[in-house]
A and B are shown apart, each in its own frame.
Chain A
Amino acid sequence: MRPFDYRRAGDVAQATAAAGDATAAYIAGGTNIIDLMKLEVSTPARLVDISRLPLHRITQTQDGGLRIGAMVSNSAVAADMAVRQRYPLLARAILAGASGQIRNKATVGGNLLQRTRCAWFQDISAACNKREPGAGCAAKDGPNRMNAILGVSGHCIAAHPSDMAVALRALDAQIEVTAADGATRLVAMDDFYRLPGDAPHLETCLAEGDLVTSVILPPPTAETQIYRKIRDRASYAFALVSVAAALRMQDGRIAAVRLAFGGVAPRPWNDPAVEQLLIGQPPSKDLFVHAGEALVAPAIGHGGNDFKITMVQRLLAAVLREASE
């Protein structure tokens, strides 16, 4: 770890004021940033401890949704009865990730902002445009079975590792951000993450000093929520691919559906065209195959991860089948 200056923020204003430049970073649970600081992939000169900010509550919103404070631990979200009853997808996604220890420490805000587990991003001796813009991408021609197939660019094929964020995407969550000037704004999950393009080091819409303060869930609109994840071992492993679905049937047809995908893209992936293709249709094997084909039409494999193209289609079809039964 590079030496850094440590400050504990007493309130949100103190936090955003202390973190208002490029050399500063927030630390909450620390499960990802400490990992990366040890490898010196992250080298903040100032670490602003936000773990004791009063953002530890899960509350009802006026419209019947939920507001989850950014400092709520992943465990606490998954244990919350309101979440378990009304947003089981979110609880399922969280419980499918990491370990009990990590979920206790990791926060909702931190989980959203976790960095890719791409092997070359984590290796300071390797070429990585995300870590060092312009350095190149060692993943493209390497053993890249964990890397992304959708939304990638010639500069970066890193996959976003979160399970929780995939669920939040399918649940149409919004993210509340407080800026250094105290202004608060809501950002849709769709607008929160950037695709790598030619600047893979820029991952979100957040500006310096911006602090994620809450995640807001709209009232649930679908009766059936499913999260499925394929991984190399039964527990404590990142997704090869995952699918989150929130689906409502009416009169034998798919009335509403929100889908999100993990392990396949630099951000929790979604494709409105795939959802549109399903809405209003009676469930059928052909329909699900068609949806899968549409999903992966823009996919690009890089050898080691080609298998994800068929794997995600199979998993999508299985999830849709189960959700529409």
Chain B
Amino acid sequence: MTETLKLDGPSREALLDRAAQGAIGRGLDRPEGPLKVTGQAGYAADARLDGMVHGVLARARQTGTITDHRLEALKAMPGVVLVLTDGIPRNPAQGAVPTAPPAADGVAYTGQPTALIVAERFEDAWHAALAYDPQITPVAHDLDPETAATVETPEDKQRADDGWQDTWDAAPTKVDVTVTTPSLTSAPMEPHAAIAMWEGDQLTLRGGLQMLKFNRKSLADALDMPVAKIRLLAPYVGGGFGSKLGVAQEAVAAALAAKQLGRPVSVVMHRRQVFEATMRRSESRQRIRLACDDAGIIRATAQEYRVSNLPGEAFSEPVARADRAFYATDKLKITHEIARIHRMAAGSVRAPGEAIGIPAFEMALDELAEAAGIDPLELRLKNTVEADPISGLPFSSYPLADTLKAGAKAFGWQHRPPRQQQEGEWWIGQGLASAIRGHFAAEAEARVSLTAQGAIVETDQTDIGTGSYAILRQITGEMLGLDPADVEVRLGDTAFPPAFGSGGSAGAASSGTAVLLACRALRKRIAASLDAAPDDLTLKDGHVIHGNRRTALAQIVPQEGWCEQGHVAAGDISDKVRTTTCGAMFAQVAVNAVTGEIRVRQMHGTFAAGRILNHKTATSQCHGGLIWGIGMALMEELHHDPRDGAVVNRDFAQFHIPANADVPPLSVDFLDAADDWGGPLGALGLGELSISGAAGAILNAVHNAAGIRIRDMPATPDKVLDALDKLGS
């Protein structure tokens, strides 16, 4: 039996509010933790299969048409067993796409992998891959988004309210701010990897993948084979952040090579390839105009964006949506331009859109507050809204004002003019920004088996560090009255019922709901066996309490156990309400007047994302987003060579992500309250919320500290010194 639910209205599960078992919400340790801290958790590249050989992707050094791969010499190199050039995709598939990644047609961007070298030993494959030097007839392409010949403006991404100009003209206070962000990259610590193995016409592929249901279909399409013949395994994924949403070159190449060789093939991208051949977050130019009245209420908003991607890619960094706003405004104008250029593909990187859009908007708000002479906290509070001012849709919950007030109190926010506090060479200041990120849940299925020993949860949902293992265990424990330790969660295997996967912060709400539904079905089985109504049961500590009888589950559940499925489908919630998560983030920074270095000294975030399923893992995710904000604000930037578009700094020594020493004490609070529209769990997406604005809090603090506005991210020491010089200090 399958318990199904279509999400088209409020559907909150009362059992979670009662929390008889006390499993939900608690900061339980990750159940897979002992495996991870002992090196026993098996990631994509960790399997050791009999006869396995090693494949290394080889890069093309310039864009154009390959006239000759020049493979003869490569094939003769020691240890080489196969050189493969056909079928390697141009770039990874985008997220939640069931079709094959785009086929290669020549070399579209410098560094594109256009061959796979397979050898008995990794050392031989690597050496041969470096020798790969195909003959290429160069083709000149646009490389710079600002000068690209092709700039698309999709109609559904534009908006121009009638009377915008009049409203703008009439407003007494306005700012016109242009913020630029560079190409960025997910850079998960686990490089993209796949081990492919064929048994007859059946393919088993261990991969670093975020969304197995889609990945399986996508791979089947790429290999032109039935979906059912593919099994994907991804029980542990070493971080994704969007970069492993879609099937990438290594997976397709490993599958093709393994088939040709009749042997298992391992393909692990070199770190440089992860940087130059997976997905970047598009650079952006964001012009934001805000006008407010004398009371500080925003009347006109214009957001004009230019982002870029390779020709043919449907994805473009969704910096804003033309059908919605998140602060008050009477008139809205949105321009979204997509420049077609031949840098590496752009795709989803943690919180696509909001991650760079909210910081820029929050920086513009800070400038508006200054122009209006209002405390930036106060300005935000004046402009929070109950319903979307553009669509008119009410928010399911959107306690932005509450998070701002609670966060300000926890942080000790005090509005002060810039350049008031100095310690030696350091200017000290505070800044804030709101965090705003849309929420959605998607179709997902799960299976839960209940036996006398406990429960087993199975779904192809992944845990990329997000805490799926922990929260699915807690949901099951709560629903079935089991100690979470008696619940085993099995993930990342397409032999299990399909979930949505890890993307768009939708994993918990989707797969969690499917698990909850399966548990509901099991409760019905339990109730039926006792001839009771499911709602009259209390399940706790492995016992059923009904009336004044307390019976051990072990006495009720048959020897072979019960197995039930849950299936949640997305409904039409988005036509009825806006589901959005929010928060408030505060930073204290120090800006060195001599060296231009910025150090974040403290950060606080108060977040609202519905019910918090596990306070420990939720806090860690929020820490992660705040720290990504530090990276975005201060150091992260892919440098494209203007001559060929190549990523120049394609390693961890040159592309800096925050190191431990960059991170100050962080504090995180939640307004933990179920959202009735967030499915039975009442939980909204959390994994991307805290990056969606964090860089803005830091750069606003930089202004408060030193009086300088760095609008061209990241705020590296050279830019800070330049700004200080211009300020005359």
Contacts and interface: CB of A to CB of B under 8 A. Distances in A.
Do chains A and B make direct contact within the complex (CB under 8 angstroms)? yes
Contacts of A117: 653-654
Contacts of B640: 143
Given A143-B639, A143-B641, A318-B594, A235 B78 contact: no
A298 interface: no
Interface stretch (B15-23, B356-364, B595-603, B687-695): B595-603
Interface string B576-606: 0000000000000000001111010000000
A255 interface: no
Nearest to A39: B130
A177 B662 CA distance: 40
B654 A146 contact: yes
Contacts of A2: 127
B665 to A, nearest CB: 14
Nearest to A308: B718
A124 B130 contact: yes
Contacts of B639: 143, 145
Contacts of A315: 594-595
A235 B596 contact: no
Contacts of B596: 230, 311
B658 to A, nearest CB: 7
A211 to B, nearest CB: 28
A232 B653 contact: no
B4 interface: no
Interface in A116-132: 117, 119, 124-125
A38 interface: yes
A210 B391 CA distance: 76
Question: On chain A, which size bracket covers the interface?
Answer: 20 to 34
Contacts of B661: 233-236
Contacts of A1: 123, 126-127
A230 B126 contact: no
Interface residues of B, number: 36
B67 interface: no
Nearest to A307: B718
B716 interface: yes
Contacts of A314: 594-595, 721
Contact of B718 (A40, A141, A237, A311): A311
A310 B716 contact: no
A125 B654 contact: no
A104 B597 CA distance: 28
B46 to A, nearest CB: 21
Given A117-B653, A117-B654, A318-B594, A236 B659 contact: yes
Contact of A311 (B61, B425, B721): B721
Contacts of A238: 653
Contact of A119 (B130, B643, B649): B649
B589 to A, nearest CB: 13
B595 A233 contact: no
Nearest to B658: A233
Interface string B694-729: 000000000000000000000011100110010000
B232 interface: no
Contacts of A233: 634-635, 656, 658-659, 661-662
B654 A307 contact: no
A232 B721 CA distance: 13
Contacts of A228: 595
B721 A125 contact: no
A230 B720 CA distance: 12
Given A240-B717, A307-B722, A315-B594, A235 B659 contact: yes
A142 interface: yes
A309 B653 CA distance: 23
Given A1-B123, A230-B597, A237 B656 contact: yes
Contact of A234 (B123, B648, B659, B725): B659
B660 interface: yes
A154 interface: no
A237 to B, nearest CB: 6
Contacts of A234: 597, 599, 659, 661-662
Given A1-B123, A3-B78, A310-B725, A232 B642 contact: no
Contact of A141 (B643, B660, B725): B643
Interface string B633-671: 011000111110000110001101011111000000000
Nearest to B657: A233
Interface string B599-635: 1000000000000000000000000000000000011
A318 B649 contact: no
Contacts of A317: 594
Given A311-B721, A318-B425, A143 B648 contact: yes
B654 A230 contact: no
B660 A235 contact: yes
A119 B648 contact: yes
Contacts of A125: 59, 61
Find the residue from A38, A141, A143, A317 having the highest chain B CB count within 10 A: A143
Interface in A212-269: 228, 230-238, 240
Interface in A301-325: 307-308, 310-311, 314-315, 317-318
Interface string B141-172: 00000000000000000000000000000000
A143 B648 CA distance: 8
Nearest to B595: A230
A113 to B, nearest CB: 18
B425 to A, nearest CB: 7
A155 to B, nearest CB: 19
A232 B78 contact: no
Contacts of A3: 78, 127
A236 B425 CA distance: 22
Interface string A64-96: 000000000000000000000000000000000
A315 B718 CA distance: 12
Nearest to A35: B653
B721 A307 contact: yes
A17 B389 CA distance: 80
Nearest to B600: A234
B127 A119 contact: no
B144 to A, nearest CB: 13
A232 B717 contact: yes
Given A117-B654, A307-B722, A230 B717 contact: yes
Contacts of A143: 639-642, 648-649
B635 A232 contact: yes
A152 B345 CA distance: 36
A234 B661 CA distance: 6
Contacts of B126: 1, 38
Interface in A1-56: 1-3, 38-40
A235 B595 CA distance: 15
Nearest to B599: A234
Contacts of B653: 117, 237-238
A236 B652 CA distance: 10
B35 to A, nearest CB: 24
A311 B717 contact: yes
Contacts of A318: 425, 594-595
The interface centre, meaning the residue of A39, A307, A315 with most chain B CB atoms within 10 A of its CB, is A307
Given A119-B649, A146-B654, A310-B721, A235 B594 contact: no
Interface string B418-450: 000000010000000000000000000000000
Contacts of B656: 232-233, 237
Contacts of B722: 307
Nearest to B131: A40
Contacts of A40: 127, 130
13 contacts: A119-B648, A119-B654, A142-B641, A142-B648, A143-B639, A143-B641, A232-B717, A234-B597, A235-B661, A237-B656, A307-B718, A307-B721, A310-B721
Given A142-B648, A145-B718, A233-B635, 9 more contacts: A119-B648, A124-B130, A232-B656, A236-B659, A236-B661, A237-B653, A310-B721, A311-B718, A311-B721
> Nearest 10 pairs between A and B by C-beta?
A307-B718, A235-B661, A234-B661, A125-B61, A143-B639, A318-B594, A230-B595, A234-B662, A233-B656, A119-B648
